[in-house]
Structure 1
Amino acid sequence: MTFSLPQAPRWHLVLALSLLNVLLLTPELPWAGFPPRHWIALEAPLIVGLLALLPPSRWRRWLSGLVVLFALAIVFGAAGDALTQTMQGRSLNLYTDIKLIPILIELIVTNLGLPLAVAGLSAAGLAAFATGLLLARLLRGFHARNTPRALALLLVLTSGIGLAVVNAVSMGNAPAGITRLGHPAASFVMFEWQRAQETRQAMATFGRQLYDDDHAYAAPDGQALPGLANTDVILGFIESYGVAAIEREPFKAELRPRLETIEHQLGAAGLSVVTGRVTAATLGGQSWLNHATFASGLPVTSQLRFELMINSPHSTLIDDFKATGHTTIAIMPGIIRDWPEGDLYGYDEIHTAESMGYQGPSMGWASMPDQFTWQRVEDYALSRHQGPSFTELATLSSHAPWSPVIDVIEDWSTVGDGRVFDRWRGAGDDYASLWQDTEAMRRNYAPAIDYSLQAATGFARRYLGGNLPGGDHALMMILGDHQAAPAIIGGSPGKDVPMHVISDDPALLRGFLDNGFRPGMFPPGPEAAIPMAGVRDLLHRIYGDVTPGETSPTSDVGF
């Protein structure tokens, strides 16, 4: 005697409908929280009803498989959107962000270590596989022969009517019950499709700018900056340093007094400082896009734009300083492998983590502390070259998760090969676990920025305050590469970062004061902000013998 459950197919239908409904509601989770704004994703009963009307066949199995792939794609897209909104304060853009998957995987491996990263990614993959397999079996467990046709037709008709009603009331006030119905998966797909079309058009415009002969910077040789011909120029990016750190609690309570102290210290060292407000290309990450935006004078807001720019003949500030007679130097402690992009930029010298000779302990996520990196500017640029140099560096100590926070070594002459930092060996070894502790990261954020500012301005006081060889002058630009993630700094922080310009020659700073900067270490208000893509043009207006003109689009920053 065979035992059977004649009602099982109907339970398969109910379970399939419930699981599919949950999966298709996930696009709402990033911004609506849990529970989702809608209770029923109308796509779920429509899909289940249509499948129930089909007899068993190979085509039905294929369609069930496509439904499973669609549902999982929606889930992964929703997860990507949640991560993007949390870290960068914007929605996912599949057209451009798909290229960030290898970078994201590398970041996970770097922060968690290979074993934990493999375990975590494997667990996520197995969970997705198990969910997909369960949904596939449930979808194959019912069909027209064992599901009442009236029930299947009811699912199709009610979902169709629901979709029509939801769309009809979407422009006005909907009845209370209707607000629980929605089509989040379809809306997500349509949003990404429309954004892809807009991005494609924006990318075409960006590509034309790169190769337009009439564009001021399209020529590959760059344009000289004669006002800086005999001046050493240093461009330093401070990781995650945004104006929100100066303007929002609890961070400003620590950083504003530090800025006041630094202002007095610079003045005592015979240095002048002015500060402006610059709108970065990104928020919460992708530092290299802001470096490229600053250098190129174009809004490099995505990895796709970066690849187009770096492989084009469009010149950058590196070319401008070469044309001015500077030796161009890159000091990049965060680069831990080959860096072909550096060769494409055309630096005369490139120093990365492997070649910088650091013998001290690792500093959590950072390979070396900022003070050592700044010391290398003196070693590689100021004391080594007879003529003027242009040095660009990107520091790491203020990178998330901001551990460990150390102190500046008072005697810079002891920095040497970095062994002086052995006193902090082992500190910050738990940095991987800190990614799970948002409150701990928030506590460490301001002290980490404080340390980075002390290291940068301590270098300025020691090496620019009348100590340059041959009586040369120097111009030092320090700015944040982007704001910290909204999860740390708070919602809607904007993209503005401070830009401090320091020199031992006050005359070199007058042009900045004429363009919205103000004396001291505090940035002006948002009304004085200039796009990061406009800083190159600003430098040419101040120090060039020509006016490049309209070279810095300010509105095309979304893609």
Structure 2
Amino acid sequence: MSLLTRLRRQPEQGSDDRTPPSTVRRVLAVTATVLAFLLVLFALVAPDDLSKLTPLAFVRIPVEGLVGIVVLLLLPNRWRRPVAIVAGAALGVLTILKLTNMGFYASLNRPFDPVYDWSFLGPGLEFVQGQVGEFGGWAAAALVIVVAIGLIVFTALSVSRLGGFVANHRTGTVRGVAVLAVVWLVLAPTGAQLAPGQPLAASNAAALAVNDLRQVSADIKDQREFANQVSSDAYVGTAHDKLLSGLRGKNVLLVFVESYGRSAVMNSSFAPGIDAVLDAGTQKLQQAGFAAKTGFLTSSTFGGGSWLAHSTLESGVDVNSQYRYNNLVNGNRFTLARAFKDAGWRTFADDPANTRDWVPETQFYGYDSVYDSRNVGYKGPVFSYATMPDQYTMNFIRQHELAKPGPAFGEIDLVSSHVPWAPLPQLVDWNAMGDGSMFGPQAANGKQVKDVWPDQAKVQQAYGESIQYSLNTLISYLQNFGDDNTVMVFLGDHQPGTLVSGTDADHDVPISIVAKDPSVLNRVAGWGWTDGLKPSPHAPVWPMSSFRDRFLAAFGDQVTK
């Protein structure tokens, strides 16, 4: 044997440790199949609520998977792959809806509405851009789109791969499916579960699809019902001189405190601090000659969608979706703002969160003056989402609206207590804030978002501090500038998100009426509200949609409803 021949036959150095190519392919194939199985299992059994997403939630038998395997086994070979890809793509879409539900449960404590909730995309993008910049926001949106498309594609390919696997292992697959089907049938009637709310005999995907179809049907029906509600209005045609006669000559301020919910005043770790502010504020206002009464309203929204709550309170109908909102503001429903305007008040709105024209403020509500982040002369820093401190907003209104002759009515939306609650401003001398530049060090030196999130305890603490700041702002304003002709109605728009308020939180928000003139509160003495700024746990709870009629009846010359 020649030397050349021996060298050719000699194994290369280290070749004993090399894996044959066929083995590598088998390992890759097995890995791909396992990953495909895990993705499909997640799509089938994962809960759509993050609070229920635990390892035990995946120890379940999905009936859709069993049915799908049987269908794939019965199909002719030429149909198996196309059907598997279509079914997998549909499962991918359902998985995206499931992930979207997770986000909605975490923030709004409800599932995603496939008809109406697309309207949250715009405000959601604006919020992200406010945190990471315009380019970062668009980049995040693009990433979400890529991930969504990728999820549909990979789920389709995964189902196709599993279809081929079960076809190549027909006998074992049939036996396994038969056993699991029997177990499923035994467990289903019992509701047996390892994880709370996650039965071992699962049908998540089918339930999600059915629920979404039902929601679509309910939304279509709701459109007709809401149209009837809007058109039925007891106050249409009421004589102007009969409206709000009990408030003649008063400056009436309707103030929404962002995310000021029931959890702020009871049954939470941060409630004691806020309650202390309310108790101290009640005493301070009494010393200044003011009195207050406080109750609860049930908001039409939770964790976000403030405009839904604002329009519900003003219009007297339950505006709980973007469809309802769009329908409302494109009509001529009578609102509190219209009532005050018809009765002779000068009207205004101040929403410092707005960075562009909000058409309904002039066309639907009909405010004489509209203020936002662009036209109030603020030159100071932003505080994360909040474009300016609440104190600056109240001071601007004092100087530019309430200094004018004649009574005024205005809706003021405070935003310092908007998520992410960092950094937070601090109260300063009312007469020294100027154009707001002095707030620069507060924004720079305060707690930043990265110092608070995502630690739940720190988030809750920051939320509580933000509510304290907003309430102290209103209390200080009334102490310093309130007079006999000042009436303030302040309330929350909705509860904070579930990270703060919890998954069992209701939709209730506190509401207070504060006035120095005793005749004002005498008109609401029969409401049963708590004296002072802090509501009793047993204070009445009304739907937010009922407030308009109750308010107009209490302060008008005639009760029409």
| TM norm structure 2 | 0.86
Q: Alpha-carbon deviation of 1:34?
A: 0.9
Partners in 1 of 2:371 and 2:226 — Cα distance? Answer: 31
Which residue is equivalent to 2:310? 291
Which residue is equivalent to 2:275? 256
Aligned residues: 535
Q: Is the 8 A contact 2:39 2:158 kept in 1?
A: no
Which residue is equivalent to 2:229? 209
Aligned equivalent of 1:43, options 64, 84, 88:
64
**Rg bigger for which structure?**
2
Partners in 1 of 2:106 and 2:80 — Cα distance? Answer: 39
Q: Alpha-carbon deviation of 1:113?
A: 2.6
Aligned equivalent of 1:137, options 146, 157, 178:
157
Q: Is the 8 A contact 1:401 1:431 kept in 2?
A: yes
In the superposition, relative to structure 1, how do residues 498 and 144 fare at CA in structure 2: closer, same or farther (>3 Å)?
closer
Which residue is equivalent to 2:395? 375
Which residue is equivalent to 2:345? 326
Q: Alpha-carbon deviation of 1:355?
A: 0.7
1:185-334 to 2 correspondences below 5 Å: 185-212=205-232, 215-217=233-235, 224-334=243-353
Q: Is 29-38 or 83-92 further displaced after alignment?
A: 29-38
In the TM superposition, what whole-angstrom CA distance separates every residue of 1:421-463 from its partner, at most 9, and x where no partner exists? 2332424583367443333211212211111111112111222
Partners in 2 of 1:481 and 1:28 — Cα distance? Answer: 26
Q: Is the 8 A contact 1:68 1:135 kept in 2?
A: yes
Partners in 2 of 1:520 and 1:426 — Cα distance? Answer: 36
Aligned equivalent of 2:433, options 409, 415, 439:
415
In the TM superposition, what whole-angstrom CA distance separates every residue of 1:480-510 from its partner, at most 9, and x where no partner exists? 1111122112342212222121112111111
1:494-509 to 2 correspondences below 5 Å: 494-509=506-521
1:22-171 to 2 correspondences below 5 Å: 22-37=42-57, 38-57=59-78, 60-141=80-161, 142-143=163-164, 147-150=168-171, 169=189
Q: Is 19-28 or 295-304 further displaced after alignment?
A: 19-28
Partners in 1 of 2:102 and 2:26 — Cα distance? Answer: 42
Q: Is 423-432 or 400-409 further displaced after alignment?
A: 423-432
Partners in 2 of 1:146 and 1:47 — Cα distance? Answer: 12
Is 1:517 paired with 2:523? Answer: no
Partners in 2 of 1:191 and 1:319 — Cα distance? Answer: 39
Q: Is the 8 A contact 2:48 2:99 kept in 1?
A: no
1:376-391 to 2 correspondences below 5 Å: 376-384=396-404, 386-391=405-410
Q: Is 174-183 or 483-492 further displaced after alignment?
A: 174-183
Q: Secondary structure at the match of 1:276?
A: strand
Q: Alpha-carbon deviation of 1:111?
A: 2.6
Q: Is the 8 A contact 2:351 2:413 kept in 1?
A: yes
Partners in 1 of 2:275 and 2:419 — Cα distance? Answer: 21
Q: Is the 8 A contact 1:49 1:155 kept in 2?
A: no
Partners in 1 of 2:308 and 2:281 — Cα distance? Answer: 29
Partners in 2 of 1:254 and 1:235 — Cα distance? Answer: 24
In the superposition, relative to structure 1, how do residues 62 and 527 fare at CA in structure 2: closer, same or farther (>3 Å)?
farther
Which residue is equivalent to 2:5? none
Letter in 1 for 2:437: R
In the TM superposition, what whole-angstrom CA distance separates every residue of 1:316-341 from its partner, at most 9, and x where no partner exists? 11111111101110011011112112
Q: Alpha-carbon deviation of 1:6?
A: 9.3
Which residue is equivalent to 2:371? 351
Which residue is equivalent to 1:557? none
In the superposition, relative to structure 1, how do residues 380 and 39 fare at CA in structure 2: closer, same or farther (>3 Å)?
same
1:404-483 to 2 correspondences below 5 Å: 404-409=423-428, 411-427=429-445, 430-431=448-449, 434-465=452-483, 473-483=485-495
Partners in 2 of 1:219 and 1:42 — Cα distance? Answer: 59
Q: Alpha-carbon deviation of 1:208?
A: 1.0
Is 1:484 paired with 2:496? Answer: yes
Q: Is the 8 A contact 2:96 2:148 kept in 1?
A: no
Letter in 2 for 1:224: L
Aligned equivalent of 2:415, options 396, 401, 405:
396
Q: Is the 8 A contact 1:365 1:431 kept in 2?
A: no
Q: Alpha-carbon deviation of 1:189?
A: 1.3
In the superposition, relative to structure 1, how do residues 399 and 3 fare at CA in structure 2: closer, same or farther (>3 Å)?
closer
Partners in 2 of 1:32 and 1:198 — Cα distance? Answer: 26
Letter in 2 for 1:69: A
Q: Alpha-carbon deviation of 1:136?
A: 3.4
Partners in 2 of 1:8 and 1:252 — Cα distance? Answer: 55
Q: Is the 8 A contact 2:191 2:201 kept in 1?
A: no
Which residue is equivalent to 2:541? 529
Q: Is the 8 A contact 1:42 1:159 kept in 2?
A: no
Identity %: 26
Q: Is the 8 A contact 1:52 1:144 kept in 2?
A: no
In the TM superposition, what whole-angstrom CA distance separates every residue of 1:72-121 from its partner, at most 9, and x where no partner exists? 22222222222222222233332332332333233222233334434444
Q: Is the 8 A contact 1:54 1:144 kept in 2?
A: no
Could you tell me which runs of 5 or more consecutive residues in structure 1 were left unpaired when the two chains were aligned: 467-472, 550-559
Q: Secondary structure at the match of 1:325?
A: coil
Q: Is the 8 A contact 1:236 1:395 kept in 2?
A: yes
Could you tell me which runs of 5 or more consecutive residues in structure 2 were left unpaired when the two chains were aligned: 1-20
Which residue is equivalent to 1:546? 558
Letter in 2 for 1:490: G
Which residue is equivalent to 1:555? none
In the superposition, relative to structure 1, how do residues 80 and 218 fare at CA in structure 2: closer, same or farther (>3 Å)?
farther
Q: Secondary structure at the match of 2:312?
A: helix
In the superposition, relative to structure 1, how do residues 80 and 274 fare at CA in structure 2: closer, same or farther (>3 Å)?
same
